[in-house]
């Protein structure tokens, strides 16, 4: 874990939030997970993020979460850092999950602000300080107000970075104005934080604002595209980046066009349907209380994949 500790301290590049393939009976599809991860690693991703929102962190019993992380660490086998989501409503439970994640070999952990109980900024800051004091691997703050109903203030994040409590931020806040300010504040403080965007259709703009990397759910479907996009952005080839991004944004219609499911079930349901259509996994099953996409939605996903030239028969 020593080397991992190093590699996870200032992450850059593409770190996809890995979906959790399930068998029809909703148990973990280990072979499917292996296939998804191998495809990402072959594409050249720079890290993987297990047990994120996309990875069904909230949906599985604790024993299954341990199994997911264990298998992920086994398959990745040290080739890239493995981040683990440690999402829980409050501090004590988050700390329990940090302990589990470390024991199972995670190179870094990703934690949200507290949720459920109403919690103000001083307590949110203290929460991250406690996590940082406790963890022996780097802690990333997960800014996802659509789930936790709190936006993390950029000055607080930079303070937490300066004090060493957190190593970076996964920004899924949908607030590009504040992200630009966060970049500027972080730079002024000596760049203690690695800043990663979670919005797969505006990665190019986030890089232009100063992002260090991306955590795109859609990279489950097209990891090569995101690796190319990352390279173009880092190389300053912005028009090439824009074209790749426009192509990937069109591919994201697999999620935006879903009609039979909504919210979480539409996005992750579409990623899973695409992986099944691409022959990567055997099933598109999702956890209770959601249902897998129905035939009509699968046909729509297939049409988008076809237009994008991603289906086997189109290649």
| Cβ 83 vs Cβ 68: under 8 Å | no
Least Å distance, CB 36 to its own copies, is 20
Nearer to its own copies, 140 or 264 (CB): 264
Distance CA 299, CA 260 (A): 12
In sequence order, what DSSP letters do the residues of 179-226 get, joined into one string? HHHHHHHHHHTT--SEEEE--TTSHHHHHHHT--EE--GGGGT-HHHH
Least separation in angstroms between residue 288's CB and its own copies is 5
CB of 210 to its own copies, least distance (A): 8
Helix (H) or strand (E) holding 303: helix 295-307
Considering beta carbons, is residue 44 or 260 the nearer one to its own copies? 260
Residues 86, 111: contact at Cβ < 8 Å?
Answer: yes
**Residues forming the site for its own copies (CB under 8 A):** 53, 58-62, 64, 87, 89-93, 96, 114-120, 123-124, 126-127, 130, 146-149, 174-177, 180-181, 184, 199, 201-202, 204-206, 208-209, 236, 238-239, 241-242, 245-246, 249-250, 256, 262-265, 287-290
CB nearer its own copies, residue 119 or residue 194: 119
* Shorter beta-carbon distance to its own copies: residue 44 or 287: 287
Least Cβ distance, residue 91 to its own copies (angstroms): 5
Q: How far is the CB of 233 from its own copies (least distance, A)?
A: 10
Of 156 and 208, the one with the shorter C-beta distance to its own copies is 208
**44's tokens:** 């050249």
CA distance readout (Å), 54 to 113, 207, 222, 256, 268: 17, 22, 15, 15, 6
Continuous segment of H or E residues that includes residue 227: helix 223-234
Q: Which is nearer to its own copies, 245 or 281 (CB)?
A: 245
Number of other CB atoms surrounding residue 105 within 10 Å: 18
As measured in angstroms, the least distance from the Cβ of 6 to its own copies is 29
């Amino acid at each position: 874990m020593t080397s991992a500790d190093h590699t996870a301290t200032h992450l850059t590049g593409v770190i996809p939030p890995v979906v959790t393939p399930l068998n029809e009976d909703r148990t973990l599809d280990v072979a499917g997970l292996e296939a998804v991860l191998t495809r990402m690693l072959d594409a050249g991703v720079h890290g993987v993020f297990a047990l994120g929102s996309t990875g069904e962190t909230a949906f599985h019993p604790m024993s299954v979460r341990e199994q997911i992380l264990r298998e992920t660490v086994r398959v990745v086998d040290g080739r890239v850092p493995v981040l683990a989501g440690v999402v829980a409503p409050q501090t004590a439970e988050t700390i329990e999950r940090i302990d589990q994640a470390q024991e199972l070999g995670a190179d870094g952990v990703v934690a949200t602000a507290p949720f459920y109980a109403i919690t103000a900024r001083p307590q949110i800051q203290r929460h991250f300080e406690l996590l940082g004091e406790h963890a022996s691997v780097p802690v990333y703050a997960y800014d996802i107000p659509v789930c936790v109903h709190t936006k993390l203030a950029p000055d607080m994040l930079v303070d937490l970075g300066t004090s060493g409590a957190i190593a970076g931020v996964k920004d899924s806040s949908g607030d590009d104005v504040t992200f630009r300010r966060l970049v500027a504040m972080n730079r002024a403080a000596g760049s203690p934080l690695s800043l990663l965007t979670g919005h797969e259709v505006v990665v190019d703009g986030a890089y232009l604002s100063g992002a260090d990397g991306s955590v795109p759910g859609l990279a489950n479907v097209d990891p090569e595209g995101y690796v190319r996009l990352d390279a173009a952005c880092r190389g300053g080839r912005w028009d090439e980046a824009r074209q790749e991004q426009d192509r990937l944004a069109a591919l994201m219609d697999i999620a935006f066009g879903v009609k039979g499911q909504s919210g979480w079930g539409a996005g992750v349901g579409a990623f899973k349907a695409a992986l099944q259509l691409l022959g990567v996994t055997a099933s598109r099953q999702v956890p209770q209380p959601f249902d897998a996409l129905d035939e009509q939605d699968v046909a729509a996903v297939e049409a988008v994949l076809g237009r994008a030239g991603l289906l086997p028969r189109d290649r």
